[in-house]
Amino acid sequence: MDISLKEAAVIREFYEKWKVSPLVQVRISRNLEGRREPVTEALGWDAMVSCLLNTTAIRPQSPITRFIRTKPILLSLAAARSQTNVDRWVVATVSASPGLRRYNELACHIGSNFVRLEEGRWPEFMSTLRTLERAHEKIDERRAAPAIDDLLTGFGPKQAQPLADNGPHAA
């Protein structure tokens, strides 16, 4: 592939502008250097919640992005496990965040997935995510997406594919 000096300069300028971005730093660490967090139930849960929240392409400053990046994580697995009614907790948490909608629908899916996973589906979910933890081929993602779609409620190709593309690091 031949790149002109002008094109190379544009690429260098772009890189210099964006290299300090936290998102770019994470992507470089994960995608180029191969450093990834070990897959845990909490990480898989966070990825699942993020995928359910993302129904459209989101902007860096969108309400969904701000919600997902809030620390501590608002809809964390640890917090879910401490609730007596996960659905009600999700509605209260999401509805209190400006700009977020669909909280009843999200609560239904997140609550249902919580019950499914806690009643014994964690091994299946984690097994699927672990196939994507290491470097993998596109075919592995294509196999994982329907498995995720079948396992979790609220997931169709639109939600399952980002989780399959990025594994537990979708968040």
In this prediction, the residues of the chain whose per-residue pLDDT falls under 50 are 171
Is residue 71 domain-shared with residue 107, that is, in the same domain?
yes
Residue 47 and residue 84 in one domain = yes
Which residue range forms the structural domain that includes residue 3? Answer: 1-35
- 116 and 82 in a common domain: yes
In the prediction, which pLDDT does 4 show? 87
45 and 122 within one domain = yes
- Does one domain contain both 59 and 11? no
**Are residue 129 and residue 71 in the same domain, yes or no?**
yes
Whether 77 contacts 45, CB under 8 Å: yes
What's the pLDDT score for residue 89?
A: 96
Same domain for 18 and 65? no
pLDDT score at 17:
82
Q: Do 22 and 91 share a domain, yes or no?
A: no
Q: Same domain for 45 and 31?
A: no
Alpha-carbon distance 171 to 7, whole Å? Answer: 32
DSSP 14-54: HHHHHTT-HHHHHHIIIIIS---PPP-HHHHHHHHHHHHH-
Same domain, 29 and 45: no
Per-residue model confidence (pLDDT) at position 124: 94
* Distance from the Cα of residue 53 to its chain's centroid: 9
Residues 26, 65, single domain; the answer is no
pLDDT of residue 141: 76
Number of domains within the chain: 2
Could you tell me if 29 and 53 lie in one domain? no
